[in-house]
Amino acid sequence: MMTAVKNDGPPVFYKRKIFDAEDPMYEGTFAVDFVVPPNTDVDDSLPIRTTYFSEKEFDGIASLDTRPIILYNARATWDCRQTVKWLRKKFPNRPLFGIGFSLGANILTNYVAEEGDKCELKAAVVISNPWNLESGSLALQRTWLGREIYSKTMGGNMKRLLALHHDEVSKNPKLDFEKINNVQYLHEFDREVQGPTWGYPTEGAYYRDASSTDSLFSVKIPFFAINAEDDPIASKEALPYQEVQKNPYTVLCTTSLGGHLSWFELGGGRWHSRPAINFLNNMAFNVKLPAPAVANGEERFGRNHVSEFIPMRRKLVYRSE
């Protein structure tokens, strides 16, 4: 609530670059926004204080692209992986750190886990990670505030995003736009759009596959998580206390209050930025870590495999001696 009524935060300026998807299982492009010095450039087609990089600014490659942009998937990590590899090539001698917020924190957790001890990131911070997406969805539906404010708002935002790309999305024969038009809540959007698009039979199957709780067991870099126990989206019951205790690389900091990405203080500041910055500064200047091996992580999901849902793929594998 406070986020909606408070004054705008410090002005941050961005420039956007469009990347071609390199993963052969995906077709299309994705956008990455880079923080840049303040400027007076304006592009009405983009968010405030955001413009495209020019060809001269970025290796002679145009940033504006008319090819299809891929609809996000909470389980997909290929774009994160491609971006990190690009950054490592662009800045070979600089330490790279990752920070993710909300669903982005969930995606970052899965990415770091997939890379294991070959992760190109030196350390990572995740803030307000929902962890168990199915648990969080059910928690939202249990209360009027969660259902009618949070879930309805997020569902409406996703419908508007879909409308912006209607010409492209409408080519998907698996989508029923009559049902999509009646969507009100986020879980309904995931049922009618994300499930058919990515091959999940139900939104629950999508949530369980995309969740990052079990991924913590495979994290092999310093990893700092911050959650509030009163978070209406990343519910307390989903917090991975036991999983964190099993991995010496991971630390979970919880607070009794703070909401979802809030932690407001007197004067309008937000508390969570301080521990996150302290952790990253320590990793950057006080901790020496070995250089990673060549990254070879891979996600177990692809756009061209949308019709193949394998319900047992995350179960324990039994071996016969």
Active-site residues, by number, are 102, 231, 260
CA distance 239 to 181: 34
C-alpha angle 178-151-112 in degrees, rounded to nearest 5? 105
Helices (H), the chain: 2-5, 78-90, 103-115, 133-142, 144, 152-164, 166-169, 177-181, 186-189, 195-198, 203-210, 241-245, 273-285
Question: Is 151 in contact with 119 (CB distance < 8 Å)?
Answer: no
Question: How many CB atoms within 10 Å of residue 231?
Answer: 25
What does the CA dihedral 209, 212, 217, 218 come to, rounded to 10 degrees? 80
Show Cβ contacts of residue 71 under 8 Å, excluding neighbours closer than 6 positions. Answer: 165, 169, 193, 194, 197
CA–CA dist 168, 295 (Å, integer): 33
β-pair partners for 76: none
SS3 183: coil
